[in-house]
């Protein structure tokens, strides 16, 4: 398991807390801002807030005179501060594109703006309709009285209920899988007014790297990619920079070796697992999961899919993976505790149930004449192929910087070497290991001393 850099995380939390205090102090000004933008005629009132990983939203009502609204701000610290505008713009463009090209239930955006256009200069914002519903993750999780407890999929949810939910999600995912672009990156309308890939991909993974590990932001991509292999080689470079820069990443010499091997092996595995190298590429949302979906618990109708901030045109093979979130949490939760067999026992039945729903969606779509006649093999078959070949795990490692080492050793290491993987590496990499071990040990020592010093200062305050 890879741990966060607690110092980087604390710095991010402190930045966010200071901003949240400023936001709460400006509650009246935010309400007035929303009221003016939506012509609420002074009826605007604060109804509450919603806090997510990367955003904080105020729910504003209008005394029944018009539907209530949500103004959502990107949180500094938890989103790298220099990227807040980029993140918000990417999400607005993605939602506009999806509303134009799919039937997915999405929030209606009234307006959006950057920091200089926001109330009290609070930061980039989106003003949208408020959508009623319960988070799908809440509906599917095992009930608990502990609000801090991890989400556990409720085994008592019956298959009929799941089929109703999966049928809807399968249809949405099938629609998204048909959206294609010639490059890898963020989309917007170009100078001629056509939708195109215009910026680098800003992903959940890159945001985690910078805000949670101390990764240097200037080492990340600055432009779109032409091929999937270029993208994966960029990821491989990021993983090695990460190994060199996160001070508390490795706990001892064996851990340094383990992580160095997995990261170099990831690069070596690119030719084996990279498919459809030159595209076309497909829209993919890093953060599409039940906690970002709303459901009417009585009718079981999905009322909205939310949070498309980390959505880009990406390597096609990402779309060909079965959903990683079918157990509500990712496979890393099980891999971190060496419980791969338990994960497979729980995940595979849910995956097969979802794929049957996807097959039903494909049949319904084909009967309606939707989709291309050349759409073979179908998405459900491609997902099974991704799972059966292990490409699912390669893709998951590419998207999760903090879990890639566990993913490699549990799912991608082929066991052909007799020396814990060292024989799979060349002499140059082995020499790199000799150089890296003392560097990482010195980094960890300095990190722990700084952490202890900060803790002592906090205790004395």
Residue 323 and residue 357: Cα distance in Å, rounded?
12
- Beta-bridged to residue 60, according to DSSP, are 46, 69
Digitized pLDDT (tens) for each residue of the chain, 461 residues in all: 668 999 999 999 999 999 999 999 999 999 999 999 999 999 999 999 999 889 999 999 999 889 999 999 999 999 998 999 999 999 999 999 999 999 999 999 999 999 999 999 999 999 999 999 999 999 999 988 777 778 899 999 999 999 999 999 999 999 999 999 999 999 999 989 999 999 999 999 999 999 999 999 999 999 999 999 999 999 999 999 999 999 999 999 999 999 999 999 999 999 999 999 999 999 999 999 999 999 999 999 999 999 999 999 999 999 999 999 999 999 999 998 889 999 999 999 999 999 999 999 999 999 888 766 556 799 999 999 999 999 999 999 999 999 999 999 999 997 655 557 777 788 888 889 999 999 999 999 999 999 999 888 777 76
The first and second tokens of residue 72, run together, are: 């959502």
The residue ranges of every structural domain in the chain are 1-131, 132-182+283-389, 225-279+392-461
Cα maximum dimension of the chain: 74
Residue 98 and residue 274: Cα distance in Å, rounded?
27
Among 217, 240, 239, smallest CA distance to 80 is for 217
Q: Domain 1-131, what fold?
A: Phosphorylase Kinase; domain 1 (3.30.200)
**H/E segment holding residue 29:** helix 27-37
Residue 264 and residue 240: Cα distance in Å, rounded?
8
Strands 55-61 and 125-129, bridge-based pairing = unpaired
* Helices and strands (H, E) in the chain, number of each type: 16, 13
**H/E segment holding residue 181:** strand 180-181
Among 320, 303, 445, smallest CA distance to 377 is for 320
Q: Give me the count of residues in the chain.
A: 461
Among 387, 225, 386, smallest CA distance to 312 is for 225
Sheet of strand 311-314: strand arrangement: 180-181, 281-285, 311-314
Residue 345 and residue 428: Cα distance in Å, rounded?
40
Q: Tokens 């713009």 correspond to what residue?
A: 89
Residue 282 and residue 181: Cα distance in Å, rounded?
6
Cβ-in-10-Å burial (0-12, 13-18, 19+) of 434 comes to exposed
The count of C-alpha atoms lying within 13 angstroms of the C-alpha of 38, restricted to the half-sphere facing its C-beta, is 31
Give the predicted TM-score (pTM) of the model: 0.94
Among 264, 267, 260, 284, smallest CA distance to 230 is for 267
Specify whether the CB–CB gap between 294 and 306 falls below 8 A: yes
Specify whether the CB–CB gap between 123 and 76 falls below 8 A: yes
């Amino acid at each position: 398991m890879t741990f966060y850099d607690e110092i980087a995380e604390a710095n991010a939390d402190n930045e966010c807390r200071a901003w949240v205090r400023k936001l709460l102090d400006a509650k009246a000004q935010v309400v007035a801002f929303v009221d003016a933008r939506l012509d609420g005629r002074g009826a605007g009132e604060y109804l509450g807030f919603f806090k997510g990983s990367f955003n904080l939203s105020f729910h504003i009502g209008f005394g029944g005179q018009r539907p209530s609204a949500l103004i959502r701000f990107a949180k500094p610290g938890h989103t790298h501060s220099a990227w807040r505008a980029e993140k918000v713009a990417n999400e607005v463009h993605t939602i506009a594109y999806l509303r134009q090209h799919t039937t997915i239930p999405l929030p209606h955006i009234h307006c959006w703006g950057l920091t200089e256009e926001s109330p009290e200069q609070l930061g980039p914002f989106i003003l949208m309709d408020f959508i009623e519903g319960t988070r799908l993750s809440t509906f599917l999780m095992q009930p608990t009285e502990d609000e801090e407890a991890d989400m556990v999929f409720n085994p008592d949810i019956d298959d009929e209920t799941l089929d109703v939910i999966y049928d809807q999600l399968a249809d949405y995912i099938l629609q998204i899988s048909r959206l294609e672009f010639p490059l890898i990156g963020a989309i917007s309308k170009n100078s001629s007014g056509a939708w195109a890939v215009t910026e680098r991909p800003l992903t959940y993974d890159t945001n985690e790297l910078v805000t949670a590990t101390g990764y240097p932001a200037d080492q990340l991509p600055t432009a779109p990619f032409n091929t999937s292999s270029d993208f994966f080689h960029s990821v491989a470079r990021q993983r090695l920079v990460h190994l060199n820069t996160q001070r508390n990443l490795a706990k001892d010499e064996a851990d340094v070796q383990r992580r160095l091997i997995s990261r170099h092996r990831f690069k070596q595995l690119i030719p084996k697992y990279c498919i459809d190298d030159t595209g076309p590429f497909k829209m993919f949302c890093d953060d599409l999961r039940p906690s970002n979906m709303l459901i009417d618990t009585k009718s079981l109708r999905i009322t909205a899919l939310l949070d498309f901030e980390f959505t880009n045109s990406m390597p096609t093979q990402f779309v060909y993976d079965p959903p990683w979130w079918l157990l509500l949490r990712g496979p890393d939760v099980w891999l971190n505790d060496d419980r791969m067999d338990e994960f497979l026992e729980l995940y595979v039945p849910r995956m097969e149930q979802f794929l049957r729903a996807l097959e039903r969606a494909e049949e319904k779509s084909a009967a309606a004449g939707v989709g291309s006649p050349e759409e073979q093999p179908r998405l459900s078959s491609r997902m099974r192929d991704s799972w059966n070949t292990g490409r699912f795990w390669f893709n998951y490692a590419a998207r999760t910087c903090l879990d890639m080492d566990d993913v490699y050793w549990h799912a991608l290491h082929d066991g052909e070497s007799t020396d814990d993987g060292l024989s799979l590496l060349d002499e140059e990499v082995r020499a790199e290991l000799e150089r890296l071990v003392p560097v990482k040990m010195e980094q960890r020592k300095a990190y722990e001393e700084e952490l202890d010093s900060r803790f002592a200062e906090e205790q004395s305050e």
